[in-house]
Amino acid sequence: MNSVLIDFAQWFRPYQTQCAMAIIATLLVLFGAEISQAIRQLIKKQHILVRTLVFVFVCAFGYGALTVWLTGLFSQWLGMISDLYLMPVILLIFIVLGLYAQKQRHI
């Protein structure tokens, strides 16, 4: 069993950045409403022009920069995991995210 996990992880390593991006994108989808709500609470008393500019900045640059930055960090973290444990960890992360999404009625 160990050799199968190691072989699969070695096959998977070139795709670890894409997997990290999928996990970060999933997290942003799951928590995007809460992030937007927090920002909305911070700027709710501002002029409509300021609120609009903040919205554009957060959506166009904030989420994009957050995705790129967190993907790099998470990909590095995945790179530190031993080949034996890589696939179980990734599978566990997606299962936990799926269960959380189900609990929050995202799916």
Write a three-state SS string for 43-102.
Answer: HCCCCHHHHHHHHHHHHHHHHHHHHHHHHHHHHHHHHCCCHHHHHHHHHHHHHHHHHHHH
pLDDT at position 43, please? 92
CA 103 to chain centroid: 18
pLDDT at position 81, please? 95
pLDDT at position 104, please? 87
pLDDT at position 99, please? 95
Three-class SS of residue 104? coil
The domains of the chain are located at: 16-103
pLDDT in single tens digits along all 107 residues of the chain: 889 999 999 999 999 999 999 999 999 999 988 988 999 999 999 999 999 999 888 888 889 999 999 999 999 999 999 999 999 999 999 999 999 999 988 77
Q: Running DSSP on this structure, what letter comes out for residue 13? A: G
Identity at 85, one-letter amino acid code:
Y
pLDDT at position 9, please? 93
